[in-house]
Structure 1
């Protein structure tokens, strides 16, 4: 029955989006199916409304942030959340869940395919917000610890394999030097590129950019998230907890395509996202204008190359 419905939905998508590339239609089809799948829970969600929903996910971090966490939070507000299950060190993200299990020690990106348990499960030109609520990470984690004389500017960089290719979306040392030199007098810059030992990795191998020691020597005014963790690790439960506390006090971000960009989009303010064309599906579906700003109401500025990052900085920061 499932295969029949999926085939019928693909035909529907083909009729509705005749100019769309055939392979992209599968994403929309899967989202349609995931929304139809919710009808079986109508009575539990809107009539009996007792805790029953177990939200269990260990796919890509980006997918969890965009679709799974807001779904779990909706069930929490609805009174129907029973349990959440995710990867190691994710309890801070699910602060609202009274029963959260950190079951998985590795993310498996393939597990996101065929995962029809949430109304939105993959890329799409439109999203359902009927069972999707913003998770108030900023309000929950705002604090008096990470407060400085100048407003915070977070550079959330990454340097890892993308789509089985060498790194594409990242700021190299030259770009970092230009940004830091220009803005360190105006902002307290905090640099964040987590090490593989600090987060749960998936298929994207993290590589070495050799920028941390360079930054300590050439721009000692910049605070490194890795160093902050060393100083404050007795006050936080894990590295993710630290990230949430620091991000909650910030309104200006530079982030990279993927989970890095999704996380920074949770904290209002302005988020410049470096995402080169030719890789992720966000470009095809214009998602930097839809789901990303929906995460917190943040102003999202999509930079398609490093020069556009500099241009957005010049006009907004």
Structure 2
């Protein structure tokens, strides 16, 4: 029965979106199936409305930010959230959960596929927001600790294996130098690229860009998130808690494709993100104009190359 329904939904996806590549229609099919799966919870969600929903996820961080957390927050507001189970150091993201369990030591990217328990779980041309509510990270985590004389600007970089290939979406040292030389006089820049031991890994191996020592020498007025973590261990529970507190005080972001860009899109303001064409299905489904702005109402400016990002930053910031 399930197999037949999935085949039928694939045909429906092909009929409704004939211009979408055949291999990408599987994403549409899976989202259709996931939404249909919600019908069986109608009574519990809208009639009895007692706490029953246990949400378990240990897949990619990007999916957790985009799909899982807004679904869990909807259940919290609906009065039906019972428990959330996720990877270690995720409690700050689930601050609203009545019972959050940090169970998993490692993220498994395959865990997000074939997971039909959440209405939106994969890429799609349109999303179902009926059980999806933006999480108020900014309002919850704004603070008086990370306040500076100049407005904050966060550069959220990454340098890791992407799709089993060498790094694609990242800012190299020459690009960082050009950005910082033009920005640091007007902004208190905070540079964020987590070290391997500070976040939970998935299949994307973190590599050494060698920029932290260079930043301390060449741009000593730029603050490093890693250093802030060492300085404020008495205030923050873990590195994720630190990121949420710092990001909540910021309205200017530069970020990279993936979870880095998704997190930076959760705090309003403007997020200029780098995502090369061909390096992710967000392009095919136009998600930088649909889902990413929905995460917080942020203004999303998508750069398709480092040079384009530099031009947008110079024009915008």
TM-score by length of 2: 0.99
Contact 2:81/2:98 (<8 A) preserved: no
Aligned twin of 2:263: 263
2: CA distance between counterparts of 1:228 and 1:52?
Answer: 39
Q: Does 1:249 align with 2:249?
A: yes
Q: Does 1:171 align with 2:163?
A: no
2: CA distance between counterparts of 1:295 and 1:228?
Answer: 26
Deviation at 1:43, TM superposition (A): 0.3
Aligned twin of 1:71: 71
Deviation at 1:225, TM superposition (A): 0.2
Q: Does 1:116 align with 2:116?
A: yes
Aligned twin of 1:14: 14
Question: Deviation digits for residues 55-84 of structure 1, max 9, x if unmatched?
Answer: 000000000000000000000000000000
2: CA distance between counterparts of 1:117 and 1:141?
Answer: 29
4+ residue runs of structure 1 moved beyond 4 angstroms? none
1:53-64 matches, within 5 Å, as: 53-64=53-64
Structure 1 gaps of 5+ residues are none
Secondary structure of 2:23's counterpart equals: helix
Aligned twin of 2:289: 289
1: CA distance between counterparts of 2:98 and 2:143?
Answer: 22
2: CA distance between counterparts of 1:196 and 1:263?
Answer: 18
Deviation at 1:311, TM superposition (A): 1.4
1: CA distance between counterparts of 2:20 and 2:84?
Answer: 36
Secondary structure of 2:86's counterpart equals: strand
Cα RMSD after superposing both structures: 0.5
Aligned twin of 1:93: 93
Aligned twin of 2:218: 218
Question: Deviation digits for residues 87-110 of structure 1, max 9, x if unmatched?
Answer: 000000000002000000000000
TM-score by length of 1: 0.99
Aligned twin of 1:147: 147
Q: Does 1:196 align with 2:201?
A: no
Deviation at 1:19, TM superposition (A): 2.2
Aligned twin of 1:208: 208
2: CA distance between counterparts of 1:2 and 1:297?
Answer: 37
2: CA distance between counterparts of 1:231 and 1:20?
Answer: 49
Report how many residues are paired: 317
Structure 2 gaps of 5+ residues are none
2: CA distance between counterparts of 1:292 and 1:89?
Answer: 23
Aligned twin of 1:102: 102
